[in-house]
Amino acid sequence: MANSKYEYVRNFERDEHLLPNTWIVVRIDGRGFHRFSDHYGFQKPNDVRALDVMNSAARHVVKTLPDIVMAYGVSDEYSFVFHKSTTLFERRNAKLVSTVVSTFTAAYVMFWPRGFFVSAVETETEREKGETKGKKKEMEQQQEQQERDLDVEMIPTFDARAVCYPSWENLRDYLSWRQVDCHINNLYNTTFWALVQRGGMSQTAAEESLKGTLASDKNEILWSRFGINYNNEPEMFRKGSVVFREYALETTTTKTNAGKTENENLPEDEKPVSVSKTQFEKMRKARQKAKIVTAHLDIIKDDFWLVRPWLRSGKPGRPVE
C-alpha cells in the first residue's frame, strides 16, 4: 500500500523564507481580549495579574527560543525580536510565527491556573521604587481573591505575524512605535477610568469629555481632580515590559555607536564615554545576576541600548560577575 500515489500533494506546500539579514519581529496579539478581560473581571485600567501572565509567558518564549534577543509587551500584545542573523527554521515564516504563538499560548494557559505570577519587577529600575512596588503588591493582594481557573468556554488565544525590518533604525523605530502607543493608550485609559471609577461618570460621558484633549490636559485632569501624578503610576503600566537576557552592562561606550545609525563596524580603539557615578553603580549591581530579565524601561532613547550592546550585536555579553 504505497503512499506514492498521493504524495504529489506535497508539491502544493510553499515555504516563505524571510529575507536574510533583516530583523524579524513576531508580534502576537490577544484575540477578543476585550470580552476575555470582562469575562475574568480584569481590573481597569490595568490588571497586574493579567500583565504578569503575559510577562511570564513572554519570558518562557524568550527562554526556549534563544534566537530571540528581546521581547517587548504591552496590554495583550507582545513583540519578539529575532536577531537579523538568525537562521532558525531556515527563517520560514509559518514555522517562526506558529512556534512563537503556540509556545506563548501554552505558557499563558499554564501560568494562569497555577497562580504562578512571576514578579515581573525585579529589575534595577523597580528595586528602587519602594513606593511603586508597595502599591503594586497591594493591587495583587486585592486581585488574588478574584483569581479563578480558565473556563473552557473562554480560553485565551492569540494571533501572530512576522515582519522584517532591514535596518537597526527601522527596528528601533518599530519598538519606539509600540512604546509610544503604550504611553498614549495608558494615559488615556488612566484618565478615562479615573473619571469613571472615582469621578462617577458614565463611560459615555467620560469618553465624551476626553475627546480632543491633549496629553497635558489629561495630566491636568488626573492631578487637579484626583490628585494623581501620572508619573508616579507604575512603570509597567506606563512603559510596558521588556524581556531580555542580561549580561554585564557596558560602562564604556561612545557617542558614535550610541544611536540608531548604521555604523556597526566601529574602530576598536574608540574612547570610552564617561557615565555618571549613579549610572555606574546601577550597572555594577545589575551585573550581579545573569538571567532573563523583565524590566519596564524607556526603550525609545539610546541609553537602554547603549549599555546592552549584545542586543544589537547578537553576541552574548560578558557574564555577570
Binding residues for GTP: 29-34, 75-76
Q: Which is nearer to a copy of itself, 263 or 288 (CB)?
A: 263
With CA atoms as reference, report the closest residue to 235 among 122, 151, 105, 316: 122
Residue 292 in the binding site for a copy of itself (CB under 8 A): no
Q: In the set 39, 44, 95, 133, which binds a copy of itself (CB under 8 A)?
A: 95
| Total site size for a copy of itself, rule CB under 8 A | 72
Beta carbons of 24 and 91 less than 8 angstroms apart = yes
For a copy of itself, what does the binding mask look like between residues 296 and 315, x meaning CB under 8 A?
A: --------------------
Q: Which is nearer to a copy of itself, 205 or 215 (CB)?
A: 215
Residue 35 in the binding site for a copy of itself (CB under 8 A): no
State which of positions 133-152 bind a copy of itself (CB under 8 A): 150, 152
Q: How many H-runs (helices) and E-runs (strands) does the chain carry?
A: 12, 6
- Shortest distance, CB of residue 79 to a copy of itself, whole angstroms? 11
Residue 101 in the binding site for a copy of itself (CB under 8 A): yes
Taking the C-alpha atoms of residue 58 and residue 55, their distance in angstroms, rounded to an integer, is 5
State which of positions 190-229 bind a copy of itself (CB under 8 A): 215
- Shortest distance, CB of residue 288 to a copy of itself, whole angstroms? 25
Residue 22 in the binding site for a copy of itself (CB under 8 A): yes
Taking the C-alpha atoms of residue 6 and residue 22, their distance in angstroms, rounded to an integer, is 37
- Shortest distance, CB of residue 74 to a copy of itself, whole angstroms? 13
Span interacting with a copy of itself, options 72-80, 88-96, 224-232, 233-241, rule CB under 8 A:
88-96
Residue 19 in the binding site for a copy of itself (CB under 8 A): yes
118: which 3 cell numbers?
512571576
State which of positions 158-177 bind a copy of itself (CB under 8 A): 158-168, 170, 173-174, 176-177
- Shortest distance, CB of residue 88 to a copy of itself, whole angstroms? 12
Q: Is 44 exposed, middle or buried (CB count within 10 Å of its CB: 0-12, 13-18, 19+)?
A: middle
CA distances from 316 to 5, 205, 223, 273 (A): 49, 52, 44, 22
State which of positions 51-80 bind a copy of itself (CB under 8 A): 60
With CA atoms as reference, report the closest residue to 297 among 252, 235, 244, 209: 235
143: which 3 cell numbers?
486581585
Cα 26 to the center of its chain, rounded Å: 12
Taking the C-alpha atoms of residue 5 and residue 1, their distance in angstroms, rounded to an integer, is 10
The single residue listed with the C-alpha cell 519587577 is: 121
Q: Which is nearer to a copy of itself, 164 or 293 (CB)?
A: 164
Span interacting with a copy of itself, options 105-113, 205-213, 227-235, 309-317, rule CB under 8 A:
105-113
For a copy of itself, what does the binding mask look like between residues 174 and 193, x meaning CB under 8 A?
A: x-xx--xx-xx---------
Q: In what order do the strands lie in the sheet with 68-74?
A: 158-165, 23-30, 77-82, 68-74, 241-245, 292-295
